[in-house]
Copies of this chain bind each other. A is one copy, B any other.
Amino acid sequence: MSDTIENKCIEKGVGLTAQRKIIAQVMSKSNDHPNVNELHKRVSLIDPKVSIATVYRTVKLFEEAGILSKHDFKGGKARYEKVPDEHHDHLIDVDTGKIIEFVDEDIEKLQKKVAQKLGYNLVDHRLELYGSKTKK
């Protein structure tokens, strides 16, 4: 159970080549939200011959397979994390860039309610809080 991503690949029928395995492992043990460049750096420590194009392709492949999820926070490059067991949203520290995950069931419910009220089924959403410990 240590290597969830690899297992998911098998489940979803995603062929695991050597480079995909490395990318999977790196993401498995990452507890942050690296961008593609950062991910490529980490992968390169294991095998410096893996190209960044492969990282881009793999990350997209994993996303489409529901293995990774992609975030486009304000003013930056896309970041990835493993798809979590339970949904969460993010608070971004505007001073440090630190990302904190949180869950708030009430907000989730209200979002669904708002969508319904407007005549829609909520199929997706994006909630990001930008916070500071110092600024008002």
Contact = CB atoms under 8 A, between A and B. Distances in A.
Instruction: Give the copy number.
Output: 2
B110 A106 contact: yes
B122 A130 contact: yes
Contacts of A128: 125-127
B132 A118 contact: no
24 contacts: A72-B74, A74-B126, A94-B124, A100-B118, A104-B114, A107-B107, A107-B110, A111-B127, A111-B129, A115-B129, A119-B133, A120-B133, A121-B132, A121-B135, A121-B136, A122-B129, A122-B131, A124-B129, A125-B129, A125-B130, A126-B126, A126-B127, A126-B128, A126-B130
Interface of A: 72, 74, 91, 93-94, 100, 102, 104, 106-107, 110-111, 114-115, 118-133, 135-136
Given A114-B129, A125-B129, 5 more contacts: A72-B74, A91-B120, A94-B124, A107-B107, A127-B127
